[in-house]
Amino acid sequence: MIAANVQASPAALSARRPARLARGAAPPSRASRRAMRCRASASEAEAPAAAEKKMVVAVTGATGFVGKALVEKLLADGHEVRVLTRNAISARLAMPSAALAGAKFYAWDTMSGAIEWYDAIKGCTGVVNLAGAPISNPWNESYKKTLVKSRLQATKRVSDAINALPQHERPSLVSSSAVGFYGISKKREFTESSKPGRDFLANLCVKWEAAAVKTNTETTIVRTGVVLEKGGGALGKILPVFQMYGGGPLGKGDQWVSWIHRDDLVNLLVAALENPEKYAGVVNATAPQPTTMNGLCASVAIATNRPNWLPVPGFALKALLGEGATVVLDGQRVLPDRARAAGFEFAYETVEEAVADIVA
């Protein structure tokens, strides 16, 4: 097994970043750096078409860690966003900036008994389905049923609403899945053509994807890896511990982490919306260079200038998370062959680049 190169100095990491500063110049803000990276990630061939076409996009799971960023991106680019949610009032309160920017909110269950999702999806050019109970919560048998039901129910509702429209009015569908589809392995390498695993997460993903492909429209299944950004996902838990000088790898540390920067994931979702025929089928949403848990934590240590010295043993995680500890203790090496073949350019190809940007 080849671990990620994590011994580079901070200077070496900076040298690999896309933009370089003139001597004595003030560093650009993080927002400016991200704007430059996002522009660089768009295909030159796709950019003119994207600029000319205004999309109308409905989003489930819009209040989540990825959903909020996607909605923000779509609104900033001048597209219309329709948030599909269980409770429109709660969603508005959770996303005040989106509401002020013009996002519209539609509830599944209203006090009048109306189902607003059907009306919301009519007139859309695309739908993004991100809904599902958090996978990082502790698991027991009851919660495992919740993980399955929340995904299948939301996906069926979206699929039924799209299929209820005449064929020529149906929007494309971009539906989330996860790299857990492939099962766990320290030796194998997985691409979109690989077969599913046999554990709980793999079975969940198989059912989730099967519900999505019942939609009679151009459908993209996005198998997402570990999403990196502040305020949520893996780094939302790891960063605070490192900043308090208590950081270290989880478990043995040699498990694979197929990760993706949240900016790249959002841009990939948008690319699938803009070019549904090109991205139809399964697309792995993972960076081109997977790392290991040791590699991820070493990158965090370098970026935060903190020690990487206090590993968390697997048994402690199992006691805390139950069977759900498999999410961090086990992994798989997944490559984004389809995305790269479609011409998608990742702004963050190495975990060192991604973590350095996030921590900056």
Rounded CA-CA distance 157/132 in Å is: 13
The whole-number pLDDT of residue 15 equals 38
The whole-number pLDDT of residue 155 equals 97
Q: Is the pLDDT of residue 58 over 60?
A: yes
Rounded CA-CA distance 1/264 in Å is: 26
The percent helix, strand, coil of the chain (3-state, each to 5) is 45, 15, 40
| Closest C-alpha to 267, from 60, 101, 47, 62 | 47
The whole-number pLDDT of residue 37 equals 54
Mean pLDDT of 26-41: 50
The whole-number pLDDT of residue 115 equals 84
DSSP 168: G
**Which class for 143: exposed (0-12), middle (13-18), buried (19 or more C-beta within 10 A)?**
middle
Mean pLDDT of 310-315: 94
Rounded CA-CA distance 78/163 in Å is: 27
The whole-number pLDDT of residue 321 equals 87
The whole-number pLDDT of residue 97 equals 97
**Which class for 206: exposed (0-12), middle (13-18), buried (19 or more C-beta within 10 A)?**
middle
Domain 43-359 has CATH 3.40.50.720: yes
Per-residue model confidence as pLDDT tens digits over 211-245:
999 999 999 999 999 999 999 999 999 999 999 99
The whole-number pLDDT of residue 12 equals 40
Rounded CA-CA distance 338/321 in Å is: 33
Distances in Å between the alpha carbon of 92 and those of 173, 231, 232? 24, 19, 20
Which helix (H) or strand (E) segment is 333 a member of? Answer: strand 333-334
Burial readout 311-329 (b: 16 or more C-beta within 10 A, e: otherwise) = bbebeebeeebbbbbbbbb
Q: Is the pLDDT of residue 35 over 70?
A: no
52 band by pLDDT with thresholds 50, 70 and 90 = low
34 band by pLDDT with thresholds 50, 70 and 90 = low
Per-residue model confidence as pLDDT tens digits over 76-135:
999 999 999 999 999 999 999 999 999 999 998 766 666 899 999 999 999 999 999 999
The whole-number pLDDT of residue 284 equals 98
Mean pLDDT of 328-350: 97
The whole-number pLDDT of residue 113 equals 60
